[in-house]
Amino acid sequence: MSTFLSPEVQAGLDAARKHALKKSNRLNVQAGDRNFKILRSWHNGFSLDADEAPHLRGLVDMFDGTTHLSRCLIVASGEEGGELEFEYKRTSEAVDRQPLDFYRRPDAPVALLE
């Protein structure tokens, strides 16, 4: 049995795989005013479609749908199988309130009523 696939068939299979990855994953990266769909993600990086994404470098925001997850400092680490792979240099979790520069006790009053 032959395992050879013609280039057209291989290109069609690769396109179908990328399409399935894009549909199944809600994560995306925002760099400036452009958004890119994340194909795969792992604990220290992620991959984007090499045909759509440029070689990003620097600070990006990561979203799950419309929920802001984190701010990441990234660098492109390589290209494999039509996917650009990026690694995190630093990542900070996005929070919905300002960070405090003092300790707030859990039983502290919320407001002062007279």
Residue 99 belongs to a domain? no
The 3-state DSSP class for residue 94 equals coil
- Residue 75 CA, chain-centre distance (Å), reads 12
- pLDDT (tens digit, 9 = 90+) per residue, 87-106? 999 998 888 777 788 888 88
Residue 20 belongs to a domain? no
Number of domains observed in the structure of the chain:
1
Instruction: Identify the CATH number of the domain in which residue 66 sits.
Output: 2.40.10.430
**Cross-strand bridge partners of residue 97:** none
pTM > 0.75: no
- pLDDT (tens digit, 9 = 90+) per residue, 47-97? 988 888 888 889 999 998 888 899 999 998 888 878 899 999 999 888 877
Of 53, 18, 13, 62, residue with least CA distance to 39 = 18
Please say whether the beta carbons of 29 and 41 come within 8 A.
Answer: no
